[in-house]
Structure 1
């Protein structure tokens, strides 16, 4: 006869096999749900370059850019019954001066804003205060998939992070663009990012790139004095 230890090992082995099989089916079910995210508006509303200390812990003064933007996007189709939360972020990107041929990065990329959007089943993980959590739970009562989640409407949004550069200079940069990114974090399965090509029912994120713009120059002290005298 089998000993108790052997029986326990067999039961545990059967349990893990069933658990992994069910998890694989759940992860594969995401492929059956269409993903059609789109962006209606992504544009800058105000761009400034300032010289100073971008953070309280900065040891020296440097140039940093502050970019305000407006965003209107529909990412609601990224939420399925297997979605835990959605990480959304906006980056500013511009080509490097030297390019890849000089041993530098071909382009620069900096995150200026981000947000985590939880699914109703993961609202308890949201980092909100008591009042915000009550409103969130009230809006999600009885819903496994909330159609309003993932619909972003931001007007003249202030950036969470300023743009800096190792060289300490960012003024007068040309061909800068804003780009919207997302990262789907499921309960079971692999993390997925915004894809470059269409894959079956999953489509690429449309219109997630803004028009090109330039980071302005820093105003000189003489010009500021003249402007102040004129006032």
Structure 2
């Protein structure tokens, strides 16, 4: 005869095994749901600055004591994306971001055509209706969001993005500090799907079953302009 403790351990072991199997089946069910995202990205405005003035949220040196001059680019873009197919009953939230990619000029011909530099310029998080409580929103905005998704297990409108002349959240620079007149730069749309159960999945580089690559999602190659220097007015001595 087994003791009460041994029987309890057996029941708990059986219970955890069942939970693991059910979780594995839930995670595997994502492979059955088609993913056919599509997007269009277009550049609207480009500016490059040389930062050597006192640091502030718009311009500055790498840090307060640095004497190094760096060039930063500010990009405005338009984005039209339909990511609604990424939302299934197992989707918790989708992290979407736009990056700028360009070749490394310091490699010369060896790095020509290779997008070895990449920096994120904008991002956002889209939650499923059942995960709205995870968003850091005010009471009024949260109430409006919950009302819009009431009764919807999967809200396909959550995955549709439309931005015109959107200002980038983050300005970018290059490892060598030189960015002006950089050629063959492109913008790319990426995403990361976080499920309730299972592993994180990123933008696929190849098509896998019913999961397709992003249709479009890459802008035309463009060239950054020359440096635009902003002069700081000097205070008159009193």
TM-score norm. by structure 1 comes to: 0.89
Instruction: Give distance in 2, aligned partners of 1:162 and 1:36.
Output: 30
Q: 1:18 Cα deviation (Å)?
A: 0.5
Q: 1:33 Cα deviation (Å)?
A: 0.9
Instruction: Give distance in 2, aligned partners of 1:128 and 1:57.
Output: 32
8 Å Cα contact 2:61/2:70 also seen in 1: no
Q: Which moved more, 1:152-161 or 1:44-53?
A: 44-53
Which residue pairs with 1:43 in the alignment? 42
Q: 1:206 Cα deviation (Å)?
A: 0.8
Instruction: Give distance in 2, aligned partners of 1:114 and 1:190.
Output: 21
Secondary structure (helix, strand or coil) at the match of 2:105 reads coil
Secondary structure (helix, strand or coil) at the match of 1:155 reads strand
Q: Does residue 1:97 correspond to 2:105, yes or no? A: yes
Per-residue Cα deviation, 1:38-69 (whole angstroms, up to 9, x for no partner): 01x21111000012244698324521000000
TM-score norm. by structure 2 comes to: 0.86
Secondary structure (helix, strand or coil) at the match of 2:27 reads helix
Unpaired runs of 5+ residues, structure 2, are 232-238
**Which residue, out of 195, 211, 214, partners 2:223?**
214
Instruction: Give distance in 1, aligned partners of 2:13 and 2:61.
Output: 54
Residues 141 and 219 (structure 1 numbering): CA distance in 2 closer, same or farther, change over 3 Å?
closer
8 Å Cα contact 1:111/1:161 also seen in 2: yes
8 Å Cα contact 1:99/1:107 also seen in 2: no
Instruction: Give distance in 2, aligned partners of 1:12 and 1:219.
Output: 67
Instruction: Give distance in 2, aligned partners of 1:20 and 1:196.
Output: 29
Secondary structure (helix, strand or coil) at the match of 1:17 reads helix
Instruction: Give distance in 2, aligned partners of 1:20 and 1:130.
Output: 37
> How many residues are matched?
219
